[in-house]
Amino acid sequence: MNPINRRTFLSQLTLATAAFSLPQYAFSASSMPADFVEVEITHGKIRGLRSEGVNIFKGIPYAGSVSGDHRFRRPAPLQSWTGVREALQLGAPAIQPPRRNEPAPAEDCLFLNVWTPANDNKKRPVMFYNHGGGFVIGSGGSASQDGTNLARNFDVVVVETNHRLGLLGFLYLDEIAGADYAGSGNMGLLDMVAGLKWVQENIAQFGGDPNNVMIWGESGGGAKTACLYAMPAAAPYFNKASIESGPGVRMTPKEIATETTAMLLKELNIAPKDWRKLLAVPAADLLNMQSKLPFVPPFIEKNKSVGFMRRNYGGFGPVVDGKILPHHPFDPAAPQISRNKPLLVGWNEDEYTFFAWERKDTEFATLDFAGLQQKLEPQYGPHTKKIIDTYRKARPNATAANIFIAVSSITMMGLGSVEIAEKKVKQQGAPVYLYNFGYKSEKKIPGTDYPMGTPHAMDISFKFNNEIPPRGGSAPKESFFGGNKPERFVASRNFAELWTTFARTGKPAAKNAPAWPAYNLQNRPTMRIDTKCEVINNRFSQELAMWRSIGKL
C-alpha cells in the first residue's frame, strides 16, 4: 500500500466534507425561551426542549454498545433506564478527527436526534436523514442539517443518526472471523437499519407516522441511502428515498474488501488466524491505520474495457457481501426489493467548485483550452479531445475553466445519478424524479475570481430550509456557501417544499414550482431547482450522448 497522511487523505476525499466542519450558520438555535418536554419511549422516559415551536431531542440511544466484545459486530441490546434521561445534548459521533461544537468522537456512537412540531398523535411524514462525509466522517448533529426549520415550516418529523464509520463500520471479517461477525463489512449500514427500526417502534410518540418514512442523504449519505434502498434488512422500515449528490450505483466487492482486510492486518503485524487481536487495538490507532488507505467514493465507475470494476481502490465502505448487501445497489439493475418505492435523485450543477475550494486549487481558473487538454488527458486519454469538442459545441460561450468545472462535476455526481434514474425507469415500478440544483452563489473561490456557483454540499442548508430571513428584524448573516443575495431564501424554500411534499405524498411539488413529471426515457424531464424552478427536457443531451459513446455511462 502507499501510505498517505490524514491531511492528504481528507483533501482527496471526493465526498461532502462541508457539513461536518463548517462554522455555525446563521440559523443556529437562538436564545429565545425554551421549555422542557418529556416523552416515554420503548426503553424509558426522555426529556427534550421545546424551542421556537419545535420539540428537539438530542443524543437518544437507539442501540447498545459497539465497543469491546461488540466491535465489528451487531450492537449489544439497549438497556432500559429508570427516571428521565436527558436528551438535550448531542451524542458522541463515530470515531474520526474531532468535530466542531460536538462531543468527542467515541466507539459507542449509536445516538440519534429528533425534531418534531409536537409530541402528539398527528401522523406526520418522517424524514430519516443519512449524513454525508463519505463513509469516514460526519454526524447527525452537523449545524447545516439542523432539522428545526423543516419541522416547523413544513410539519414533518426529522430524524438523524450517528452510526459507525470507516474501519469500525466497514471492515470485512466474514471470511476469517466466523458466524458472530457475519455482516461485519456493513455494520455502519446495519446501524442505520437499527435507527430505522427505532423509528418504527417509537416515532408515533413524536407525532410521526411509522408507515410514512423517507430515507434521504447527500454525498456519502446519498450512497448510504442507495445501499439501504437495496437491503432486505431495511426494506420494512421506509417507503421512499432521495439520493442527493452521492449516486451509490456500485459498492466494494467482497474480493476487494478481503484484500483491504489483508492489507490492514499486514500493516498491524497481525496474522489472519490472530484476527481477534484487532479487538484490543485502540480506536485511535485504528483511525491512524485507516488514513493510510484510499477513500471509497460514493460512485465507483465500471471499467467497460474489462467488464469489471477497477481494482485500484480500497478503503472502508459498504461491501457487496451477498447477504446484508446482496448486490450492487443499482448494478446491473435497480433493486427489485424497492421496485414500488418512489425515488428522487440528482446533483448540483457545479459540484467541483467545492473541491477546488477545499484543495485550494486556483490553477483551473486560469486555464486556456490548450491547458484544459493537458489537465484532462491523464484521466481521459484519447477521449480528451472528443470531450472538449462536445462541451465547446454544447456551450459555445463557455471558457476553458467553465468546461473543466462542468466535466468534473458531471463525472463526479451526475453520470451516476442519470444511471440510477434510467435503471429505475426500466424497472417499470414506482416513479423516479431527476433534478439539478442550480442556485448560483456569488462567493468566489479564494485566490480566484471564479464564483462558487452551486458547489457540492451547498444543497444541504437549502433543502433543510436553513437559508431563511432572520427573525426579529436583525440583518441576515452571510451563508457559508450560499452568499449574501436574499434570493437564496426563495431557492431554499422551493427546495425544502419539494422534498417535504415528496416525503408526505411520494410526489415532489411546491407552490411556486411547475408540475414535476416523473423521469422517462423519451423526453427525460429534469427539474432545475432555483429561485424559479423549471422542468428541462433532455438536459445535457449532447454531453450525455458523448459520455455514453466512450463507455462512461
SS3 56: strand
Give the whole-angstrom CA distance, residue 243 versus residue 465. 18
Residues labelled catalytic: 219, 351, 456
* CA-wise closest residue to 61 among 163, 185, 210: 163
Report residue 419 as a C-alpha cell: 444511471
How far is the C-alpha of 394 from the C-alpha of 293, rounded, in Å?
39
Q: Cα(66)–Cα(315) distance, rounded to whole angstroms?
A: 21
User: Are 72 and 173 spatial neighbours (Cβ–Cβ below 8 Å)?
Assistant: yes
Write phi, then psi, for 398 (nearest 5 degrees).
Answer: -75, 140
Return the ∠ at Cα 34 (arms to 33 and 38), rounded to 5°. 165
- HEC assignment per residue over 354-386: HHHHHHCCCHHHHCCHHHHHHHHHHHHHHHHHH
Coil/strand/helix, residue 275: helix
CA nearest 195: which of 245, 152, 233? 233
At residue 19, φ and ψ (nearest 5 deg) are -75, 0
**Residues 365 and 445 sit within 8 Å (Cβ to Cβ):** yes
Instruction: Assess contact for 117 and 207: CB atoms under 8 A.
Output: yes
How far apart CA 528 and CA 506 sit, in angstroms, is: 19
3-state secondary structure at position 214 = strand
Query: Cα dist. 16→26, 223, 296, 457, 460 in Å?
Result: 20, 11, 13, 6, 10
Total Cβ atoms within 10 A of residue 273: 7
Q: Angle 187-202/220-229 helices, nearest 10 degrees?
A: 70
Q: Copy the grid coordinates of residue 414.
A: 451526475
CA separation for the pair 227, 249 (Å, rounded): 9
* Euclidean distance between CA atoms 256 and 196, whole angstroms: 29
**Pairing, β 343-348 against β 432-437:** parallel
* Gap between the Cα atoms of 183 and 255, Å rounded: 15
